[in-house]
Copies of this chain bind each other. A is one copy, B any other.
Amino acid sequence: MITIGELSARSGMATSALRYYEREGLIRAERTGGNQRRFPRSELRRVAFIRAAQNVGLTLEEIREALATLPDGRTPTRADWERLSRVWRHRLEERIAELERLRDKLTSCIGCGCLSLQRCKLYNPGDRAARAGAGARYLLGDTPQPMAAAEREDDASIS
């Protein structure tokens, strides 16, 4: 059993983050008589798992769900890791493909300059989920509405 300070030093996460993870049910601790946390060493691997998953772009909510697929909240084994990391790679590849599509659109738009609300490929509201620094809003499907057909009478084209 290790203290929160030790877990923090060994994992590189701030103690405040570890307390937050515990509140959120991502890691687990027992308590001393004086109410201090004592973590099993196995939680070290859970923290490593959480952090690797974050690097791949998962939210804590998704990570919690992934961990919940492990029986009894056990620490991930090699088999668990293999199963889950395959899913993650798939997600990463989708995201890369998405950004590549966006890049290609941008490339084809550079000489154009129209910024047409109807015709510009870059303007597509469906693409907003691709934003790099996106607020969670856009990852959760709260996309803005496209322009109604009745309103296409004028547009923002330059030429």
Contact = CB atoms under 8 A, between A and B. Distances in A.
A130 B10 contact: no
Contacts of A51: 123, 125
Contact of A95 (B54, B106, B132, B156): B132
Given A77-B158, A151-B9, A102 B110 contact: no
27 contacts: A11-B117, A12-B117, A12-B147, A14-B144, A44-B156, A45-B157, A48-B115, A48-B116, A54-B128, A55-B124, A57-B131, A57-B132, A77-B158, A78-B113, A78-B158, A81-B115, A81-B158, A82-B110, A82-B111, A82-B113, A85-B106, A89-B106, A92-B99, A95-B132, A96-B96, A132-B132, A132-B134
Interface in A94-137: 95-96, 99-100, 102-103, 106-107, 109-111, 113, 115-117, 120, 122-125, 127-128, 130-134, 136
B154 A10 contact: yes
A52 B115 contact: yes
